[in-house]
Amino acid sequence: MKEYKKAKRIVRQMRMGKTQAAELGLKAFHAEMEAGRPDAALKCAKDFKLADERVTEAATGLFLELIKRARFDKALEIARSYNLAHGGDHATAALEAASKVRYDGGEPLEQIRRLARQASATRLEASEADTAIELIRSARELRDKDERIQGRAVILPSEGEVWLTGDLHGNVDNLKRFAELVDLEHHPERIMVIQEIVHSRLITADNRDLSFVAVMEAIRLQQRFPGQVYYLLGNHDLAVHLDRELVKGGKYLNRYLFRGMAYMYKGRYEEVLTEYRTFVGKMPAAILAPNGVFMAHSTPKMAYVPSLSRDYLTGEAAKLPLRKLRPVNAMVNGRDYARETADAFSEQLESNVFICGHTPTNKGWRLPNERHLIIDSQHGKAHYVRFDLSKRYSGSQELAREGLARLDPKASEEQLASEDLM
C-alpha cells in the first residue's frame, strides 16, 4: 500500500485540488496494480474518485486474488459489492474463471458460479442489443444518403426490374425465400420492395410476438444492398412508431411485440425499440415508377385523394413528423377500392397501376378493380410480383398476368388462419 499512502500524504500536505489529486491518484493506482496490490488500487480508485472502470478493474483484481487464496466468502462479497456480473468483459472473464475452480467452497463458491452465469447472459444480451442498434442505425444512415428517396417517396429509374412482396407479418421464411429469388448480389439492376413485416399473425403460447426477427432480417438486407432494397411504411409500422396499440382478433399486437423483443434483448429491448421507431420515422411511404406503376402499402379514401400528390409526397411531407401527416396516415390505413376513387387517385399521382398490400387474401393476390393489384405474402399461398421498369402496363390485369408468381410453388395448401391483421 506504499504508493496509495504516499499519494494520500502528498495531497494532504500540498492541499491539492480535485484535478491534481485525481492525476496523482491515477498514477498510484497503476503502480499498485502493477505491484500486485489490487486492494490498495481499489482504495486509490475510491478515495481519489477515479472513473468507474478503474474501480471495477481493481475490484476484479482483488476478487481473483481472493479466489486464489480460497477465500470464497470474501470474494463473493467483493463480486456483489462491485456488481462484477455487469462489470464488462474483464470482470465476466474473472467470474467465469472462478466458476471453474475445483474446490469444495460450499455455498459462496456456488453463488459465484451463479454470478458467472448471470454475467455471461448479460454480456450476450448487451452484445445482441448493440448489434441490433448498430445495424438499424447503419441501414438508416445509408437510406438517408439514397438520392432516389425524395421526401416520403422513392423515385425509380426507367430501367431495371422491381420485385415486390405484400405483407409478411413476421414470416421470416417467406422473406428469406423471396430474397433468394431476387438474388440482388448477382442482379444489381433489380429492386426489391418489402412491407409490413412487424406483428406476426402467429403468437407464442406465452403471448410473445417474435416478428422482430424478420424485421431485423429485412433491415439487414437493406443495409447490405443500399439503393436496391426499399422497406415501405405500413399501418402496423406506424402503430409501433406512434405507440398506438392495435387490437386485432383479441390480440394486443404492440404488447405482444414488446414481450417478444424483451425476450430477445432482455433489459435493453427499449433501446432497440427506440432505434427502430427512429428508423420507421423516415420510412418511404410510396414508390413511383416512370412507367406509371405506383407502390404503397395501400391507397386512401376519396376524401384524402386531393391531399396526396407527387409534390406533397416529395416535398411538404418531408417537413413534418409522421404523427402530423394525416394524408400519409390515411394512405397506409386506407382500403377504398371503388373505381371512382382509383381513377381519381390515378389522375392525382399520374400513375395508372397501384400495387399494394394491407388487405389479406387467402389466395395471396387480388384484383379489386382495373388499377389495383393486392399482394399478400404472409402465409403458405404467398405471392409476389415482378415487373419491368421500361414497360408501361395497361392496368393491373396485365401486370398480374405477366408478373404475378407464387412465392413457394411447393408449399402446402395452407389457408390463412384469419383475416384480422388489417
Domain coverage including residue 224: 146-406
Read out DSSP for 285-327?
-EEE-TTSEEEES----GGGGGG--HHHHHTGGGGS-GGG-HH
Q: Are residues 77 and 188 in the same domain?
A: no
Q: Are residues 390 and 338 in the same domain?
A: yes
Q: From CA 285, how far away is CA 296, in angstroms rounded?
A: 6
* φ/ψ bin of 106: left (φ > 0), alpha (ψ from -120 to 50), beta (otherwise): left
For residue 420, give the amino acid letter. D
Query: Is residue 412 domain-resident?
Result: no
Query: Is residue 411 domain-resident?
Result: no
Q: From CA 381, how far away is CA 67, in angstroms rounded?
A: 60
Specify the 3-state DSSP secondary structure of 190: strand
Q: Are residues 170 and 71 in the same domain?
A: no
Q: Are residues 157 and 296 in the same domain?
A: yes
Comparing C-alpha atoms, which of 115, 108, 105, 48 is closest to residue 82? 115
pTM over 0.85: no
Q: Are residues 78 and 165 in the same domain?
A: no
Q: Are residues 163 and 211 in the same domain?
A: yes
Please, are residues 161 and 386 in contact by the beta-carbon 8 Å criterion? Answer: yes
Q: Give the containing element (helix H, strand E) for 62.
A: helix 52-68
For residue 257, give the CATH number of its domain: 3.60.21.10
Query: Is residue 333 domain-resident?
Result: yes
Write out the chain's pLDDT in tens, 422 residues.
588 888 888 888 888 888 888 899 899 999 989 999 999 999 988 898 888 888 888 888 888 888 888 887 887 788 778 777 666 677 667 667 666 666 555 676 677 667 666 655 655 555 788 899 999 999 999 999 999 999 999 999 999 999 999 999 999 999 999 999 999 999 999 999 999 999 998 887 778 899 999 999 999 999 999 999 999 999 999 999 999 998 887 788 999 999 999 888 887 889 999 999 999 999 999 999 999 999 999 999 999 999 999 999 999 898 999 999 999 999 999 999 999 999 999 999 999 999 999 999 999 999 999 999 999 999 999 999 999 999 999 999 999 999 999 998 776 544 333 333 43
Q: Are residues 286 and 377 in the same domain?
A: yes
**Count of domains observed in the chain:** 2
Query: Is residue 280 domain-resident?
Result: yes
Read out DSSP for 227-275?
TTEEEE--HHHHHHHTT---EETTEEHHHHHHHHHHHHHGGGHHHHHHH
Q: Are residues 109 and 206 in the same domain?
A: no
Please, are residues 153 and 288 in contact by the beta-carbon 8 Å criterion? Answer: yes
